[in-house]
Amino acid sequence: MIPVLRWILLPISLFYLLIVWTRNKLYDKGILKSKSFDVSTIIVGNLAIGGTGKSPMTEYLVRLLSSHYTLATLSRGYGRKTSGFRYVEMTSTAVEVGDEPLQFKNKFRKLTVAVCEDRCKGVEILKNNHQVILLDDAYQHRRLKPGFAILLFDFRSLFSTIITLPTGNFRDNFSASSRANLIVITKCPRRLSLEQQQQIEHQIRKHSDAPILYSNIEYNQLRNRDHLPVELDLSVYHILLLTGIANPKPLKEYLLDKVASVKQLTFPDHHNYSEADYIKINSAFQNLQGNRIIITTEKDIHRLHKDSLAALPVYYIPIQLDFIADKEIFDRKVLEYVSLTQSVNKH
């Protein structure tokens, strides 16, 4: 449901829609030029703002491909205070490279992780030493022509009014789904009805013939700030849920029936925590009664300064993408694309 006040901004949304539509048409007709590369390039993106599960999808692709090919991920590095091309190292900070690239590097230490706001420049630097480059959140980066495009839709976004910013949450025309090779509906309910699937597919089929697959989020074992798994009986704990992500609602819903209580402290997506924030966090934690811990997200753990919350019990819950069905179709399509481009590039 869109708040009434945002409907006041509808004229701006229509103007924004016209600009985006015109830009896409200029690229589609070749008036604005896109650059392709002789390396396998897979982009992961969405049409709406944030919260569709791009990071879990990128991690899924890393697991799928890294044992067969030399792999790199390339992101813009949202939230960083640097610019230009940078490799992400184990010693990097979220301020230098962004939280998501740092998460990738911590999870896959042998993986090449890089950030660059100019994706073409980034691919140019990476392409000679890598067979596959995964571009996180690059669907709207039309200057680069990808070899394979994976488009994500949050399940709930398809059952609300689809309209562009600032009235709605879409940053691109829905018709842009025509550029996707695979479409994945993320964060689906565990019991996805046939009627819901038909409604979604009716909507998407107006613009795209790409395979439509369904997935949800799987929550993994609790970990501490050193990324080590821990065993806790959450049912006896009062939780301060600390989030700086686009959509913390699914995590809260997951925790509600597993803990004694949840108090939520929410910050904007990719938020860089300040000393004032740490004071606020500490105060909120002290106001909890009984057994108490802080639970945050895997992205947030890389932005939280260890020293600032050293005296508090802080944990995070990793997540991963889990296909409801047809995982084999997804894997086969991706592997076929990469295998074909590797074969072509050898000749």
pLDDT tens per residue across span 211-222: 999 999 999 999
What pLDDT, on a 0 to 100 scale, did the predictor assign at position 346? 67
pTM for the model stands at: 0.94
Residue 345 · residue 223 · CB < 8 Å: no
Going by pLDDT thresholds of 50, 70 and 90, the confidence category of residue 140 is: very high
Residue 247 · residue 319 · CB < 8 Å: no
344-345-347 Cα angle (round to 5)? 70
Whether the predicted pLDDT of 161 surpasses 90: no
What pLDDT, on a 0 to 100 scale, did the predictor assign at position 344? 74
Task: Kindly give, in sequence order, each residue whose CB lies less than 8 Å from that of residue 272, ignoring residues fewer than 6 positions away.
Answer: 79, 81, 94, 95, 303
**Mean pLDDT across the chain, nearest whole number?**
94
What pLDDT, on a 0 to 100 scale, did the predictor assign at position 347? 57
The residue length of the chain stands at 347
Least confident of 42-51, 115-124, 144-153, 236-245: 42-51
Of the candidates 75, 77, 105, 76, the residue with the CA atom closest to the CA atom of residue 89: 105
53-73 pLDDT per residue, tens:
999 999 999 999 999 999 999
- The residue type found at 333 is K
DSSP-derived 3-state class of residue 271: coil
311-346 pLDDT per residue, tens:
999 999 999 999 998 999 999 999 999 999 987 776
DSSP-derived 3-state class of residue 168: coil
Going by pLDDT thresholds of 50, 70 and 90, the confidence category of residue 308 is: confident
Tokens of 206: 């107006």
86-110 pLDDT per residue, tens:
999 999 999 999 999 999 999 999 9
279-307 pLDDT per residue, tens:
999 999 999 999 999 999 999 999 998 88
Average pLDDT over residues 256-271: 94
What pLDDT, on a 0 to 100 scale, did the predictor assign at position 136? 94
Distance in angstroms (rounded) separating the CA atoms of residues 100 and 103? 5
Omega before 3 cis (within 30°)?
no
Q: Tell whether the torsion through CA atoms of 93, 117, 246 and 135 is positive or negative.
A: negative
> For the chain, which domains are there?
4-217+322-346 (3.40.50.300), 221-317 (3.40.50)
Distance in angstroms (rounded) separating the CA atoms of residues 180 and 91? 36
Give Cα 15 to chain centroid, integer Å: 27
- The residue type found at 164 is T
